[in-house]
Structure 1
Amino acid sequence: MACGSLCFQTRFPRFVVGVSASSTSSPSSRRALAGGRRATAPPMPPLNPKDPFLSKLASVATFSPDALALTPAELDTPPYLDLFDSPKLMATPAQVERSVSYNEHRPRKPPPDLPSLLLHGRIVYIGMPLVPAVTELVIAELMYLQWMDPKQPIYLYINSTGTTRDDGETVGMETEGFAIYDAMMQLKNEIQTVAVGAAIGQACLLLSAGKKGRRFMMPHAKAMIQQPRVPSSGQMPASDVLIRAKEVITNRDTLVKLISKHTGNPLEKVSKVMQRPFYMDAIKAQEFGVIDKILWRGQEKVMDEAASPEDWDRRAGIKVVDGM
């Protein structure tokens, strides 16, 4: 793949899936470029303003950028996921202070560039369906991070509906997902996958293809596997429609084999559940073998401190009669 259209400069490149970086060049520099050779920008996918992960990251980067520079206390957790704190009860009543002025709460310096911030954290974020422009950028970022350091892990954050949209309409060929999968398998780096929203179809395959033991899922994320769909045939003759249908069946068999390989389930079981859309929450995805760990924030400690049913009965003064 030609990399001439990618801006690999001394700083981190200004691109990431789901985010488009705005130009900050001055009018004089733009006139200088217009007089000489015209600069070509890499193809950018459209902005997805409804993405919850990017919205939360942008908010933290704007109002408290120093928090992003700190290393996480728990090294087993992928970076930037500590932004999603669970609600906590206040031990004491809240103390209200009168603000001096509204401007006091505004950021005192510009927020960092989100694309550079994600790449600096070695994060490749898939926040859109797998269309050709998204595939190009994801593979380029994977190659770039391997070139920067072939030993450090790469974190693949996924919030994608695969090669379809939310309404089920096909927007990309199945080869888009297979291209990213093949790139993941060829890299020297360890790739850790995290589902932060939805991982549907080919995106679910990418989630399961991470390193065993390092495949994560947020508590309320969703995963789903389904059969590939035949793209719109339009005015194609019947013979061409048949050829395209056979190709979709081939892609389905390939998808079944790969999901069976990474989840540890038999081919027959995967093929059976894929006959219709098979949705999985975090717990079911862990049981099916798509992921290895659910990123409960503090949930393990809460469950460990919870009393057993026998303790609850004893504290309540309930006596259990034998035989009942």
Structure 2
Amino acid sequence: MATSLQVVPMATVLSASSSSLQSIRRSNLRTLCSVNARNSAKIPIPPVNPKDPFLAKLASVAATSPETLLNRPVNSDTPPFLDLYDAPKLMATPAQVERSVSYNEHRPRTPPPDLPSLLLHGRIVYIGMPLVPAVTELVVAELMYLQWMDPKQPIYIYINSTGTTRDDGETVGMETEGFAIYDAMMQLKNEIHTVAVGAAIGQACLLLAAGTKGKRFMMPHSKAMIQQPRVPSSGLMPASDVLIRAKEVITNRETLVKLLAKHTGNSEEEVSKVMRRPFYMDSTRAKEFGVIDKILWRGQEKIMADVAPPEDWDKGAGIKVVDEF
């Protein structure tokens, strides 16, 4: 049996092999491009914020190497996509967070002022603590500032204070604290509108009564009370020093009586008589005694005017006053 062999030149074989390799490479390239196209269509491109380094990096990886985002480990202790960083971090600084306009449009650009400053802007001075040196310093400074700003506009003083004592009667400040605020009020050119909102006791009652005549007000359920000044705690003080302090308290009492008589329209004897013991007044009684001029409640004055005074109620009930201070 004869076998015929055909001799093929080496150049022809090499040319055929080269053309086959090129066709295979072109086929693989087309397949890879189609895969990349399908993979790219499946990847949701996140919105890119140029100020956000995390989203910028994520978008860059999605555009250049989509298989990195598709082939994610199923169980991984690393939070999603943070392994794309050599040194993972969510944000360079909190300031790089871009918020919506509606979130920031009403936020103040500077820290808000403290509450006394806000009230001062409305020409309101609020005395809401016992009259200690720190309170006196602030109130006097506010009064002088408001007069300097406008000597013609009125100043409104809201009072809720137990004076120079606490609510249990213990002395916390010198009587001169109340006299200092009183003297500052008397030196002002402005009208002083005083309003009692809660309690006006002792020296605070004097400040309430010292407002401009006709501009002294009281909330319907507020209380006013006048009382004698108290001797501060003497501790281990020598007897001679205790006597000196007692004389000073008597002097302050006389001054307080004169000032209350001046602003309430009562005689000094009447004020001294009711001051022997703590003399509490509701809004109606305070108006009758001359501490205030008007009760701040719509329709309250008419209601109170129609109510019989306590003495008539006692008389109608057959109650007799045994001892009257």
Structure 1 distance, partners of 2:197, 2:304, is 23
Structure 2 distance, partners of 1:232, 1:301, is 46
Aligned partner of 2:280 in structure 1 is 279
Give a deviation string over 1:181-233, Cα, whole Å, max 9, x none: 00000011111100011000000000000000000000000000000000001
Is the 2:286–2:292 Cα contact (8 Å) retained in structure 1? yes
Q: Aligned-pair RMSD on alpha carbons?
A: 2.2
Give the Å deviation of 1:297.
Answer: 2.6
Aligned partner of 1:291 in structure 2 is 292
Unaligned runs of 5+ residues in structure 2 are 1-105, 307-325
3-state DSSP of counterpart to 2:147: helix
Give a deviation string over 1:62-112, Cα, whole Å, max 9, x none: xxxxxxxxxxxxxxxxxxxxxxxxxxxxxxxxxxxxxxxxxxxxxx64696
What is the identity, as a one-letter code, of the residue corresponding to 1:207? L
Structure 1 distance, partners of 2:165, 2:301, is 35
Give a deviation string over 1:17-46, Cα, whole Å, max 9, x none: xxxxxxxxxxxxxxxxxxxxxxxxxxxxxx
Structure 1 distance, partners of 2:222, 2:298, is 14
Aligned partner of 1:104 in structure 2 is none
Aligned partner of 2:232 in structure 1 is 231
Q: How many residues align?
A: 200
If each structure's helix is expressed as a fraction of its own residues, which one has the higher value?
Answer: 2
Aligned partner of 2:262 in structure 1 is 261
Structure 2 distance, partners of 1:173, 1:303, is 37
Aligned partner of 1:246 in structure 2 is 247
Structure 2 distance, partners of 1:243, 1:302, is 50
Aligned partner of 2:175 in structure 1 is 174
Equivalent positions of 1:132-143 (< 5 A) are: 132-143=133-144
Q: Which has the larger radius of gyration?
A: 2
Structure 1 distance, partners of 2:217, 2:182, is 17
Identity among equivalent positions (%) equals 87
Q: Does 1:153 align with 2:160?
A: no
Q: So what's the TM-score if we normalise by structure 2?
A: 0.59
What is the identity, as a one-letter code, of the residue corresponding to 2:180? A
Is the 2:218–2:283 Cα contact (8 Å) retained in structure 1? yes
Q: Structure 1's 303 and 207: CA in aligned 2 closer, same or farther, altered over 3 A? A: closer
Q: Which structure's relative contact order is higher, taking Cα pairs within 8 Å and 6+ residues apart?
A: 1
3-state DSSP of counterpart to 2:153: coil
Give the Å deviation of 1:120.
Answer: 1.2
Q: Structure 1's 255 and 300: CA in aligned 2 closer, same or farther, altered over 3 A? A: closer
Aligned partner of 2:121 in structure 1 is 120
